[in-house]
Structure 1
Amino acid sequence: MINLKQAGVILVGSLIFTACSNDDDTQRIEIRDAAEVALEDDAEIRSYLSTHFYNYEEFANPPADFDNKIVFDTIAGPNAGKTPMIEQVSTKVIPVRTGDGRSVDHTLYFLVAREGIGEKPQLGHGVVVNYFGNLLNGNSFDSSVTETFFTTLGVIRGYAELFPNLGVSSGFTENADGTVNWNDDYGIGAVFIPSGLGYFSDARPGIPSYSPLIFRTSLFSLEDVDQDFIRTSPTTQTPAPDGIPSHLEDVDGDGNPRNDDTDDDGLANFEDADDDGDGILTEFEYDADGDGVVDDSNGDGTPDYLDPEWPKVPGSS
């Protein structure tokens, strides 16, 4: 349960976050061919899904003491007749750009145990969740001890892609001590992640290099976040919200704000306080007149905040 008296959420410095580690924290090994690793990972994940089941019967008819947790087990012995997860998952293929310029497809596998009744997050939303991370061999490497808040663009790509498949809870009741009980209608699911959408060659505590990952998650709520900043030096950045929620900075509409960088400065628009690089902060170009309509002053179909030609550069024709 989450304590609303403590700012409503807890932000954790967890293994799932994408923040870079220095060489003292991350073991580096020789980089393998990404396409070769992707094929190996996919074979391992499919083998796992073909030989394991989850407690789908409990989700279909919850017992009185059901804890709403996904549990995996091997299809063998008394469980020989269980339905393998390979018959219950959905997939999404995501191309990953390699260092040598190739694009290598990676397949994610999603298991939705309970869809959830509410709105589904987009990449860029903040979410409140419980989660459990483990390897295919069952070893656990991370979990939340209480409801946890993070932004979906602040975690590894493979995990972030789970959230648009789940809906949030319809609400909660608050207890006298400030904790809450979520309505029992929130989304619950799991994602099976090839290493190319996780940490690839980087070894982390409890995660060997080139390890496929599993995350099980309960999704309680979502909220808009605005993650823009100004880079004041190569190593320093200052928060500078531009008034556009991060999930709305998906300019090309492909569902992934990470690859939208209008001014090609190496900062995606969702983290760039000046999206078009014209020296005028986005917050002053997005809706300058306050009428609720995105400004397009020269009527060329490109909003001012994405148009480096507005205001016109002095001396231009």
Structure 2
Amino acid sequence: MKFKNLSLLALCLAIGFVSCKKDDESEVTVVPPRDRTEQQAADMDSLQKYLQSHYYNKAEIEAALPNIGINDIKILELTGDETVPDGYELLETAVGAPIDTTYADTEYQYYVLKINQGGGYNSPTVADDIQILYEGFTLGDVVFDSKYYPDSNPLDLTSLIPGWRFVIPKYNVSESFADNGDGTVSFSNSGVGVMFLPSGLAYFSSATGSIAAYSPLVFKFELLQMGQNDHDGDGVPTYLEGLTVNTDEDTYADAYGYLYPRYDYIDTDDDGDGVLTKNEITVRTVKGASVEVVKSEPLDADEVLLNYIAKNSEGEFVGTVIKLYDTNANEIPDYLESDIKINYSL
């Protein structure tokens, strides 16, 4: 199961319920979502109680670093008068202070147990594809979804619950991987942790599968690899375009005729000037013997070195540089300004 943001589905369902009437024309009562700020306070209380009543196998994990996976993390509940055993640590102590963020015009806090940063030289952005192992469970320690073995199906962070977009980009991918010769692949020194999310950074008011509405959730995760996303193939990666920016304010209709914003990351002509975005920028590659050499490449005016660096078959590190022309020096790239129509590909 993918952790998709169900807010759009919830909105559609709410509209559908409001529209439907019984034969006697009486309206169906729709219960509005809870206040996000009030629910966040309740969720933080629940998360704190969970952290105060659970511990993990700290000594075992530290002894096995850096090659740790989600199956190595054991989270146990204190029962009765039990105290935390030697070699273990209370989660409340291990996670430290909560992390602050803002989502849906609400101030949120969440917790992360950091196990391993990851030894790779790339970290995903909020818009990238990730190859990841995970286990998701409720505060009742009931597992509702998991992925314990790598496969060929990446997850797109833009389609996942918001908490993942806040946490996963803070980690690096695996340092290396090896083909085991039996159809499986082993990864070493991956980014590993556990996130403790309030419902507002998960599914909030939307119940899904065995997850009840307004449920705080816990996820163990092991970040293996990433791929940079350019959802519309216009040459500008999604993380530079943003997920809610719509420069020319255009729309598109679905199969039912409903209109939706055509955000820049799914728009091949972001400013609507008739010149495709990919023709209003130029791209070049940079090669070097190390990541540091690539990152030290001198850049011309309006050039940007993209965050993802690859490694080719010859062992060279390869970066991508795009030039976002700004001919009138107003700090708005030409591809976002409809009054400027220059095809730089010619």
TM-score (norm 2): 0.70
CA distance in 2, matches of 1:66, 1:123: 24
Residue 167 of structure 1 corresponds to which residue in structure 2?
172
Q: What is the CA-CA distance between 1:80 and the residue it aligns to? A: 5.5
Find out whether 1:152 has 2:157 as its counterpart: yes
Alignment of 1:251-290 (within 5 A): 257-265=242-250, 266-287=261-282
Residues 52 and 84 of structure 1 are in contact (CA less than 8 Å); yes or no, is this contact kept in structure 2? yes
Structure 1: where are the runs of 5+ without partners?
1-13, 98-102, 229-240, 250-256, 313-317
CA pair 117-33 structure 1, distance change in 2 beyond 3 A: same
Which residue of 291, 298, 306 corresponds with 2:328?
Answer: 298
Residue 35 of structure 1 corresponds to which residue in structure 2?
37
Q: What is the CA-CA distance between 1:71 and the residue it aligns to? A: 2.0
Q: Aligned to 1:162, what secondary structure does the other structure show?
A: helix
Residue 89 of structure 2 corresponds to which residue in structure 1?
83
Alignment of 1:133-212 (within 5 A): 133-147=136-150, 148-183=153-188, 185-212=189-216
Letter paired with 1:88: A
CA distance in 2, matches of 1:172, 1:42: 38
Alignment of 1:106-145 (within 5 A): 106-118=108-120, 119-145=122-148
Residue 217 of structure 1 corresponds to which residue in structure 2?
221
| Bigger share in helix | 2
The CA deviation string for residues 2-56 of structure 1, in whole angstroms up to 9 with x for no partner, is: xxxxxxxxxxxx24123654759xx985421211111101111111112212222
Q: What is the CA-CA distance between 1:179 and the residue it aligns to? A: 2.6
Which residue of 236, 242, 249 corresponds with 2:234?
Answer: 242
Residues 124 and 248 of structure 1 are in contact (CA less than 8 Å); yes or no, is this contact kept in structure 2? no
Residues 111 and 189 of structure 1 are in contact (CA less than 8 Å); yes or no, is this contact kept in structure 2? yes
How many pairs does the alignment contain?
Answer: 271
Residues 75 and 84 of structure 1 are in contact (CA less than 8 Å); yes or no, is this contact kept in structure 2? no
CA pair 196-133 structure 1, distance change in 2 beyond 3 A: same
CA distance in 2, matches of 1:95, 1:161: 10
Residue 308 of structure 1 corresponds to which residue in structure 2?
338
Letter paired with 1:93: D
CA pair 66-218 structure 1, distance change in 2 beyond 3 A: closer
Q: What is the CA-CA distance between 1:217 and the residue it aligns to? A: 0.6
Q: Aligned to 2:60, what secondary structure does the other structure show?
A: helix
CA distance in 2, matches of 1:168, 1:68: 14
CA distance in 1, matches of 2:33, 2:69: 41
Q: What is the CA-CA distance between 1:120 and the residue it aligns to? A: 2.1
Which residue of 100, 105, 122 corresponds with 1:93?
Answer: 100
Structure with bigger gyration radius: 2
Letter paired with 2:275: I
Between the two proteins, what is the percent identity of the paired residues?
29
Residues 54 and 73 of structure 1 are in contact (CA less than 8 Å); yes or no, is this contact kept in structure 2? yes
CA distance in 2, matches of 1:222, 1:288: 21
Residues 70 and 133 of structure 2 are in contact (CA less than 8 Å); yes or no, is this contact kept in structure 1? no
CA pair 62-78 structure 1, distance change in 2 beyond 3 A: farther
TM-score (norm 1): 0.75
Q: What is the CA-CA distance between 1:288 and the residue it aligns to? A: 8.6
Q: Over the residues paired in the alignment, what is the CA RMSD in angstroms?
A: 3.0
CA distance in 2, matches of 1:84, 1:267: 47
Work out which structure has the larger RCO, using CA pairs closer than 8 Å and 6 or more positions apart in sequence: 1
The CA deviation string for residues 80-134 of structure 1, in whole angstroms up to 9 with x for no partner, is: 664322222253322233xxxxx32111211111111112222122111111111
Structure 2: where are the runs of 5+ without partners?
18-29, 251-260, 286-320
